[in-house]
């Protein structure tokens, strides 16, 4: 495994790989790798000749009151995970190399961004699509892998690729869960013991909502039942519960086609998100 620190070197190598006809699978992450990331690496390893993993805590996608400084890091562990999954290139750039100065041109997400997590994270997805545009151009992947845990991110990346014709195939990978159903997340370490016991009810609430939806419940019914389910079983404070078309993320009067039921719940020191896709 080769560790690459500069954008220029990454682009030099990916261009050589491209020119020699190799397929490149790319997994962009912010590090602190967990089982969810490992699923992405497994899929990339299976489907491509070369696997590139990037680890970059992108300052642009954190709001002024968010946890950029506290975002967990563990380089030694991440390197081990990368080796375990036979990553060929670990791209590990510094923020100063990715953003050497103020940019002249800005990307703004105008749709799919003002719902779910995007509603309370002003500018978050602008930062996401900016860094991904750069990473796609630096790593030049044939396929790129994203976890459906952040389904809104998948929807926004889908729009980025469509709108700008990026020559890369988006591969969404199902959410990895603990045995009790809790979606794996780097932020789960911030849960207290009691909160950790309650957290699996988030996924339970979504399964309950899915069942209701498939039985013909209205959007409002599904949302209010999921809300009651979470409030009765956890001390979490609900940020949102939404039931939208997917990947368009529009509020439909009548649920139809592919839908997403998603929620975010605040605990004392962690905000957990989860979702399920429902085909109707």
Residues with a known catalytic role: 37
CB 28 within 8 Å of CB 51: no
**Smaller CB separation from a copy of itself, 15 or 120:** 15
**Smaller CB separation from a copy of itself, 108 or 192:** 108
Q: Which residue has the tokens 């930062």?
A: 127
Q: Is 215 in the site for a copy of itself (CB under 8 A)?
A: no
Residue length of the chain: 280
DSSP state of 238: E
**Smaller CB separation from a copy of itself, 24 or 226:** 24
Rounded-to-integer distance, Cα 33 and Cα 77, Å: 8
Annotated binding residue 185:
yes
Annotated binding residue 63:
no
Q: Is 18 in the site for a copy of itself (CB under 8 A)?
A: yes
Q: Residue 107: what are its φ and ψ, rounded to 5°?
A: -105, 135
Annotated binding residue 219:
no
Smallest separation (angstroms) from a copy of itself to the CB of 230: 30
Edge-to-edge, what's the strand order for the sheet holding 237-245? 237-245, 258-266, 271-279
Smallest separation (angstroms) from a copy of itself to the CB of 252: 17
Interacting residues with a copy of itself between 125 and 164 (CB under 8 A): 129-130, 133-134, 137-138, 140, 156, 159-160, 162-164
Annotated binding residue 251:
no
Q: Which residue has the tokens 């190799």?
A: 22
CB 1 within 8 Å of CB 82: yes
Cα atoms in the Cβ-side hemisphere of radius 13 Å centred on 241: 22
**Smaller CB separation from a copy of itself, 55 or 132:** 132
Query: How many CB atoms lie under 10 A from the CB of residue 35?
Result: 11
Dihedral (C-alpha) 183, 186, 190, 193: value to the nearest 10 degrees?
Answer: 40
Q: Is 7 in the site for a copy of itself (CB under 8 A)?
A: yes
Smallest separation (angstroms) from a copy of itself to the CB of 140: 6
Interacting residues with a copy of itself between 60 and 119 (CB under 8 A): 102-113
Question: Helix or strand or coil: residue 6?
Answer: coil
How many residues bind a copy of itself (CB under 8 A)? The answer is 36
- Which one of 165, 216, 220, 279 is in contact with a copy of itself (CB under 8 A)? 165
Smallest separation (angstroms) from a copy of itself to the CB of 71: 23
Dihedral (C-alpha) 82, 72, 6, 171: value to the nearest 10 degrees?
Answer: 50
Q: Is 182 in the site for a copy of itself (CB under 8 A)?
A: no
Q: Is 34 exposed, middle or buried (0-12, 13-18, 19+ CB in 10 A)?
A: middle
List of residues contacting a copy of itself (CB under 8 A): 7, 11, 14-15, 18-21, 102-113, 129-130, 133-134, 137-138, 140, 156, 159-160, 162-167
């Amino acid at each position: 495994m080769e560790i690459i620190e500069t954008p220029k070197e990454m682009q030099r190598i990916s261009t050589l790989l491209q020119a020699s006809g190799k397929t490149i699978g790319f997994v962009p992450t912010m590090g602190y790798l967990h089982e969810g990331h490992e699923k992405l690496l497994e899929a990339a390893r299976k489907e491509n000749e070369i696997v590139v993993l990037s680890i970059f805590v992108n300052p642009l996608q954190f709001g002024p009151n968010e946890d950029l400084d506290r975002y967990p890091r563990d380089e030694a562990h991440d390197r081990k995970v990368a080796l375990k999954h036979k990553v060929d290139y670990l791209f590990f750039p510094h923020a100063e190399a990715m953003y050497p100065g103020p940019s002249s041109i800005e990307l703004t997400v105008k749709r799919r961004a003002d719902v779910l997590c995007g509603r309370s994270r002003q500018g978050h997805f602008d930062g996401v699509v900016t860094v991904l545009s750069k990473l796609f151009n630096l790593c030049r992947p044939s396929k790129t892998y994203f976890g459906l845990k952040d389904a809104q991110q998948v929807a926004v990346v889908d729009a980025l690729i469509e709108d700008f014709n990026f020559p890369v195939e988006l591969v969404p990978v199902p959410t990895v869960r603990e045995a009790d159903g809790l979606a794996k997340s780097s932020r789960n370490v911030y849960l207290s013991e009691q909160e950790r016991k309650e957290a699996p009810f988030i996924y339970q609430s979504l399964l309950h909502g899915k069942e209701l939806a498939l039985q013909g419940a209205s959007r409002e019914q599904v949302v209010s039942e999921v809300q009651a389910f979470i409030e009765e079983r956890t001390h979490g404070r609900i940020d949102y519960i939404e039931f939208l078309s997917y990947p368009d993320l529009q509020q439909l009067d009548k649920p139809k086609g592919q839908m997403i039921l998603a929620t975010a719940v605040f605990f004392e020191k962690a905000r957990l998100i989860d979702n399920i896709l429902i085909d109707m």
